[in-house]
Amino acid sequence: MSNEAKQRRVESTLALAPVVPVVIIDDASRAVGMARALVAGGVPAIEVTLRTPAALDAVRAIAAEVEGAVVGVGTVLTAKDLDAALKAGAQFAVSPGSSPRLLDAADDCELPLLPGAATASEAMALLERGYRFQKFFPAMPAGGPKLVGAWASPLPQIRFCPTGGISLANAPDFLALPNVACVGGSWLTPADKLAAGDVAGIEALAREAAQLKR
């Protein structure tokens, strides 16, 4: 698959809802209930981060059992991570930044990648590699909506998914920008609700997020 074809897949994934939940999961047995709650709430694209040993098992379970879910893998750093994500059934991958080795590996992998950028130079370098869709990370520490909004005029080809410090309160500030496709946030799947298996609470948070305007 060409990189442009993979970019179109990223575009369709980011268009599914205003928010992509960023999930840190410690117990893979909670994954299916969580994902079903997110899908029911109108937030079907789910990023499961590779920050815990349970992450890939969670992705496998979601991919196999949750109808309507578009599950991806986050915190992808290496070619090995990309390969593991693809084998687990992920439909997209997300990285906090980029490196030449990772981008080379992504060229050879069927899994669409959403790479991260925090500066105009990084965004331009990714654009040279064909990445019209990028993660702006860490969004709030790096400069927030003012910074990513300032890129809209000189870099109109790029659309961003800001992630990092995003909440229900500040998400609208990003979503109002012309170069923001959606945002990523961890507030939809808080650790206490995941640990308790509070799927009703997660679905309520998802419904609230799905109503955000963009």
Return the active site residues.
47, 135
CA 181, 113, 23, 204: dihedral to nearest 10 degrees? 30
Nearest to 114 by CA among 49, 189, 38, 211: 49
Contact 183, 162 (CB under 8 A): yes
Q: Which two tokens stand for residue 109?
A: 């992998």
Give dist(CA 205, CA 160) in Å, integer.
23
